[in-house]
Amino acid sequence: MPALASLQRWLFRLAPDEQLPIVLGQRRIFIVPTRAGILFAVVLMVMLIGAINYNLSLGHALIFLLAGLGIVAMVHTFHNLFGLCLTPGRVPAVFAGDLAHFPLQLENTRRQTRRALEFSFAGQATSSVDLPAEGRASVAVSFATQRRGRLDPGRVTLATRYPLGLFRAWSYLHPRWSCIVYPRPIRTALPAPSPTMHADHLHGDNGQEDFAGLRPRQLSDPTRHIAWKAVARRSDEQPHLVKQFAGGAAEELWLAWSLTASESGPEERLSILTGWVLSADEEQARYGLKLPGKQLAVARGEAHRASCLQALALHGENGEAPESSRQA
């Protein structure tokens, strides 16, 4: 089947779009009758047989008018896409499990409104937009993310059935865009801040001075903090309790891979780290991130948060080089 594949590649231009803006010429718009269009044709055939049988001149006129309407509808459906200008926009990062939105700026140079333009990634929900005459609009094509990493959504199908629904014209858009999908955050209590810069001391009890109480154990809690005596008193169904400490003079917070419970899977540990980053950012703490093979220095602020999350998202991926290096 390589011949078929190469035919498909040639016909549907499976290569990504390099030139921007994407302008839809006739070479890349495809059109076929919809099921409604086929039904329409069948209805016309049956009507024609009836008109011949009963010798209905006006019936002939009606059928021919409808046939003409079908042809004209085809032209209009095609023109609904023809000459459309699309510019892909920057894709905001999302957390796994959320909808990623791939923005497209649309520009219409025509004096007619382009209606019911439907955008979708394969197997994803459709976003529909009307584009005013000689105007612009933007649409965000959504993609339901499932796992962290760099998401390459593939090509977008832009389709329309307007005006009569008898034909479906479509075009494949394949902008070079990708979306960073952060791990799905798991919110747990932040690890204790450390007064020192040395990561080696982070998991000692230093700095965690006063016992502050008990709380249910979360996945991120090291086993060392489990209050075994309390656990022994309680029945098995209930979550284990951990000892909580407060106080200390932490200036810097190190969120380290090694701080997460080692019995959790790597993805879970990344999720926990993500939750920590979010919490730390919300508390406006200064924090650093330590991952196997990667370390981000202590800082705070929006940009730091983003680079931390990106590091988490791309952890362990091939060509882990961050996006910025590629774009430079």
Partner 1 sequence: MVKMVKHLKAVGKPSASPGSLPLLTLEHGAIPWLLAVALATAGPHAAHLPWWLSLLVGGTLLWRAWLWQQRRPLPPRWALVLLVIGSIAAIAWQFGTLLGKDAGVALLVVFMALKPMEMSSRRDALVVVMLGYFLLLTHYLYSQSIPTGAWLLAAIALLTAALIRLHGGAQPVATILRHALLLLAQALPFMLILYLLFPRVAGPLWGLPQDAYSGLSGLSEEMSPGTISRLTLSGAIAFRSRFAGEPPEKSDLYWRGPVFDEYDGHTWRARALPAKAAKQLPVVAGIGAPLAYSSILEAHNRRWLLALDIATRLPPDSALAPTLEALAREPVRVRTQFSFASSIDYRANVIEAPAILQQALALPKEINPRTRALASEWASRPPEKIAAAALAMFRNEDFYYTLRPSLLGPNAMDEFLFDSRRGFCEHYASAFVFLMRAAGVPARVVAGYQGGELNPVDGYLVVRQSDAHAWAEIWLAGQGWVRFDPTAAVAPARIEQGIDAALPAGEPLPMIVRLDSDWLRQLRNRWEAANNTWNQWVLGYNPQRQREVLSRLGWRDPDWRGMSASLAILCGLALLLVTLWTLPRRLAADPVQRAWQKYCAALKRRGIPRAEWEGPLDFAHRVAREKPDLAALTNEAAGYYAELRYGRRASNGQLLRRLQQCVRRLPPRRRKHS
Q: Say whether residue 56 binds partner 1 (CB under 8 A).
A: yes
Q: How far is the CB of 119 from partner 1 (least distance, A)?
A: 9
Q: Say whether residue 231 binds partner 1 (CB under 8 A).
A: no
Q: Say whether residue 102 binds partner 1 (CB under 8 A).
A: no
For the sheet containing 114-121, what is the strand order? 30-33, 167-173, 156-160, 114-121, 127-131
Interactions with partner 1, residue window 57-86 (CB under 8 A): 57-69, 71-73, 75-76, 79, 82-83
Q: Say whether residue 87 binds partner 1 (CB under 8 A).
A: no
Residue whose CB is less far from partner 1, 128 or 223 = 128
Q: Say whether residue 1 binds partner 1 (CB under 8 A).
A: no
Q: How far is the CB of 31 from partner 1 (least distance, A)?
A: 10
Q: Say whether residue 123 binds partner 1 (CB under 8 A).
A: yes
Q: Say whether residue 130 binds partner 1 (CB under 8 A).
A: yes
What contacts 24+ positions apart, CB below 8 Å, involve 142-145?
Answer: 142/99, 142/100, 142/101, 142/102, 143/99, 143/100, 143/101, 143/102, 143/179, 144/99, 144/100, 145/94, 145/95, 145/96, 145/97, 145/98, 145/99, 145/100, 145/179, 145/181
Q: Say whether residue 325 binds partner 1 (CB under 8 A).
A: no
CA 270/CA 264 separation, integer angstroms: 10
Interactions with partner 1, residue window 154-193 (CB under 8 A): 157, 159, 161-165, 168, 170
Q: How far is the CB of 27 from partner 1 (least distance, A)?
A: 14
List the x/- string, 9-48, binding to partner 1 by CB under 8 A.
Answer: ---------------------x-xxxxx--xx--xx--x-
CA 59/CA 44 separation, integer angstroms: 10
Name the DSSP class of 296. E
Cβ atoms of 47 and 59 closer than 8 Å:
yes
